[in-house]
Structure 1
Amino acid sequence: MTTFPELLRKLRMEAGWSLARLAQHVHYDRTSLHSFESGRRPAPFEVAERADEALGGNGLLVAKWRQEDAARREAAAAHQVRAAALAMSHDLTALAELDISELQEGVESTAVDYLACPPAPMMDRAHALRGEAFERLRSGHFRPADRADLYVAAGRLSGVLAYALLDLGDAVEAHAHAVAAGRCAEFAGDAELAAWVAGTKSLISRFQGDYGRALEYIQDGYQWVGGGHGTGEARLRCGEAQCLANLGDSRAANRALDGAELARERIRREDSIEGLFGFSRAKQSYYAGSSLIWLDGGHDAERAVREASAAIALWQAGPDAERSLDDERLAHIYLATARVQLDDVEGAADAIRPVLSLPLEEQISWIVKRADRLAGMLSAPRYAGNRTAVETVEAINALAA
């Protein structure tokens, strides 16, 4: 896509004008104009307007300037929210004790809505809600009986921020928010949130490719589960399976997934909050599929196909409140990956098709990373003459672009 500096230079060269001549028409010196053309400095609107008129741009320069100015403003706003959210997480982590008042309104709906919304607006909402909790914390305006509840609220909102930043591709900021969530869980004495945080820290480490550290977080999380209270153990065992699969241990990974099935059977009390903090049957199948695709195919790939297919079917048939759109889309990629491992190229192309038309704002970092791996597999020499493989790789590359 042509940028404003490139378009400005192109129009000037086509007109046969020197920098000095154009500088006179836009009322800026030659050095400044060179900075605008090279992209070292953004050009003021008046430069775009005068240059467009002088070079006969027919409004192209003005339109391009406005497009890039809007993008710069949007990026600046997003950066401001991220910086403020990160600073608050560092503050929450550093405080020796959090005195907080009441469970914040909107935490539960935010957790549920996250499953079907892009991460950026959810980051904004979680940051705003947590700001209310943080102000009450700093002012001490709370009832003593509400202290633990507001701890949990701040912790869950920090957890939402951790997920949002990870989905946006920033594992470092995501970890900072997860640490804050863990501190809140600690001061609230909430084992359910503490187990969830351990699983989330492991997820962040897996995103970074550090499976040894990810496994350590899982092992640490087991101290918070037991007694059939919620889905924490099932989630942790599925996270363990992902670590072991990426470390190449098929037997142990399958054993961990079987352990997750047993943990689900032992559940006697539901999760206290659903959405992002729950672990549905569909999510468990999704985790199983996403684990086994990192092994060598064969029986592992066959189980991955079954599990990913089951996850997609459960989400599509279940209530909207439990449907995780991002995970459902990733399940299509995992299904496609497992089918390639079984040499089913046509089936792989069919599985990934729903993902290939996603708008930019819905292409979370996980989707881009996992689809890129699939494209690499389909680019193997053995598929060089396979038209379906070639077309699917082209479509994935277009998605990433």
Structure 2
Amino acid sequence: MPTFPDELRARRLEAGLSLAELAEKAQYNRSYLHHAESGRRPASEQLADVLDQALDARGDLFAAWERDDKERRREAATHRTRAAALAISRDLCAMADLDISELHAGVEATAVDYLATPPAPMMDRAHALRAEAAERIRSGHHRPQDRSDLYVTAGQLSGVLAYALLDMGDPQEALHHVAAAARCAEYAGDAELAAWVAGTRSLICRFMGDYGLALDAIRDGYQHVGSGTGTGEARLRCGEAQCLANLGDSRAANSALDGAEDARGRIRRPDSLGGLFGFSAAKQSYYAGSSLIWLDGGHDAERAAREATAAIGMWRAGPDEERSLDDERLAHVYLATARVQLGDVEGAAEAIAPILSLPLEEQISWIIKRADRLASMLSAPRFQGNRTAEETVQAIKELAA
């Protein structure tokens, strides 16, 4: 039996229609139809129904889509079963040999790899490692002196899961994982982890648009920072700046960013864990740029553009283990946003261009969310008739689709 892409192409050619003509007839984007016909992306049920009618296929085209959809679901279920079974087998084989130092090594590698890996595989890895840590805590399969370290490990892995679920667009589920991380930090008596968790809880609240609650989380986190100990204070102050900027307080937001720079200058001891748990100078500039774009432009937009540009430059020039690809991509969105606020449409299009060709698995929820705001800004009356603005808006819509 023919697949949906094969049936679609045959029906279109039989009708003597080009892709553009079929797109106009079905009132769908041409690129979307191209992906559906080439098999690069599965068509939606709605598209299959519309195309069946547009090509007068009398249900045959839709039936081909249903067969493909049934096969995709079967393959996905098989894949999930195989992956789960394989994970358990690997865990059983490794359980006898895995000691605390190997767990720590797994967490360190996961924290670093997260910066350059899509969230879904990181979620799987963190889940497997945390299950081992939790089992050792429950069963007592550890030395008494290792119990605190196991709680720190479980808390760090809960933090990785929180980030992964947030990047996958589920803040509510992320909050459950960050609550577990907070409890683990409490049991371990680890102030550094507790400060990081407070900053992450604030990040999730900001994603949800609750800036008051996000600010409360930041201020709660300040009790856990010590003078010169890691980047916790700098990260929290940048989070505070994001909250204040979204609440419209330009002066306080800039003051918080200046405070973050002062806090970085006081650091005497590095973070105990890098990667996702670190807060590099590039990340700090990225936070500054992502904060100030929520204000009214002018000097705030100028600083946002400088900071976003600096972040991108530092990530490109710095070591690979500190390069956060998702944040680097978001910095391009923030730079584009700041340039739109300054009226530089051509500069904005140049900044966002690398993001518009990302494959589906690398389009984290933050990118879609922030690019959508950029599209709304470019659709404003002041840019009507600007071809670059119109083309960029269309490209962003295709990315979201």
TM superposition score normalised by structure 1: 0.79
Letter in 2 for 1:271: D
Q: Counterpart amino acid of 2:255?
A: R
Cα 1:370–1:77 change in 2 (3 A) is farther
Matched, 1:249 2:244: no
* Separation (CA, whole Å) in 2 of partners of 1:221 and 1:125: 28
Q: Distance in 2 between matches of 1:345 and 1:294?
A: 18
1:164-203 map, 5 Å: 164-203=164-203
Instruction: Please give the alpha-carbon distance, in whole angstroms, between the structure 1 residues aligned to 2:295 and 2:280.
Output: 24
Asked if the contact 1:102–1:147 (Cα under 8 Å) also holds between the matched residues in 2, the reply is no
In structure 1, the gaps of 5 or more residues are 15-38, 40-54, 83-100
Q: Give the letter aligned to residue 135 of structure 1.
A: E
Residue number in structure 2 paired with 1:113:
113
Contact 2:137–2:147 (CA under 8 A) maintained in structure 1: no
1:158-237 to 2 correspondence within 5 Å? Answer: 158-237=158-237
Match of 1:74 among 73, 76, 82: 76
* 1:327 to partner: Cα distance: 0.2
In structure 2, the residue matched to 1:98 is none
1:80, distance to aligned residue in structure 2 (A): 12
1:74–1:284: structure 2 CA closer, same or farther, 3 Å change rule? farther
Residue 76 of structure 1, CA deviation: 9.2
> Closer, same or farther in 2 for the Cα pair 1:333/1:178, shift >3 Å?
same
Checking the alignment, whether the CA contact within 8 Å between 2:241 and 2:257 is kept in structure 1 is yes
Q: Which amino acid aligns with 2:270?
A: E
Aligned residue for 2:100, secondary structure, equals coil
SS in 2 for 1:215: helix
In structure 2, what is the equivalent of residue 45 of structure 1? none
User: What secondary structure, in the 3-state scheme, does the structure 2 residue paired with 1:283 have?
Assistant: helix
Mapped to 1, the partners of 2:202 and 2:59 lie a distance apart of 57
Partners of 1:64 and 1:77 lie apart in 2 by 20
Once the two structures are superposed, residues 37-89 of structure 1 have per-residue CA deviations (whole angstroms, 9 ceiling, x without a partner) of: xx8xxxxxxxxxxxxxxx996x995676345532565389779999xxxxxxx
Which residue is 1:92 aligned to?
A: none
Residue 288 of structure 1 aligns with an amino acid whose one-letter code is A
Report the counterpart of residue 25 of structure 2 in structure 1: none
| Cα distance in 2 between the residues matched to 1:241 and 1:281 | 16
- Counterpart in the other structure of 2:300: 300
- CA drift of 1:116 comes to 0.2
Equivalent AA in structure 2 for residue 294 of structure 1: W
**1:226 Cα deviation after fit:** 2.1
2: CA distance between counterparts of 1:244 and 1:76? 48
SS for the counterpart of 2:326 is helix
Go from structure 1 to structure 2 and tell me whether the alpha carbon gap of 1:396 and 1:80 turns closer, same or farther (over 3 Å shift).
Answer: farther
- Cα RMSD of the aligned pairs, angstroms, is 2.9
Residues 248-306 of structure 1, C-alpha deviations (whole Å, 9 max, x = no match):
00000000000000000000000001000000000000000000000000000000000
The number of aligned residues is 338
Query: CA separation of 1:216/1:60 partners in 2, compared to 1, >3 Å: closer, same or farther?
Result: closer
- Tell me the secondary structure at the aligned position of residue 106 of structure 1: helix
| Aligned residue in 1 for 2:375 | 375
- Structure 2: gaps (5+ residues): 15-44, 46-57, 85-98
Residue 263 (1) aligns with residue 263 (2): yes
One-letter code of the match for 1:308? A
Distance in 1, matches of 2:237 and 2:83, equals 34
Give runs of aligned pairs for residues 281-296 of structure 1, distance below 5 A.
281-296=281-296
Distance 2:74 2:308 in 1: 39
Instruction: Map residues 1-400 of structure 1 onto 2, 5 A cutoff.
Output: 65-66=67-68, 69-71=71-73, 73-74=75-76, 102=100, 104=103, 105-400=105-400
* Partner Cα distance (1:78, 1:209) in 2: 33
| 1:14-50 CA distance string (max 9 Å, x none) | 9xxxxxxxxxxxxxxxxxxxxxxxx8xxxxxxxxxxx
SS of the residue 1:270 aligns to: coil
Q: Which amino acid letter does the alignment assign opposite residue 396 of structure 1?
A: I
AA aligned opposite 1:365: S
| Cα distance per residue 1:159-201 (max 9 Å; x no partner) | 0000000000000000000000000000111000000000000
After TM superposition, the score normalised by the length of structure 2 is 0.79
Q: Secondary structure at the match of 2:228?
A: coil
How far did 1:355 drift? 0.1
The code of the aligned residue for 1:157 comes to L
Q: For 1:327, what is the secondary structure of its paired residue?
A: helix
CA distance in 2, matches of 1:76, 1:202: 38
Offset, 1:227: 1.5
How far apart, CA to CA, are the structure 2 residues paired with 1:339 and 1:304?
9
By how many angstroms is 1:381 displaced? 1.0
Counterpart residue identity of residue 130, structure 2: R
Q: Quick one: percent identity of the two aligned structures? A: 74
Per-residue CA deviations over 1:87-116 (Å, capped at 9, x if unaligned) read xxxxxxxxxxxxxx8352400000000000
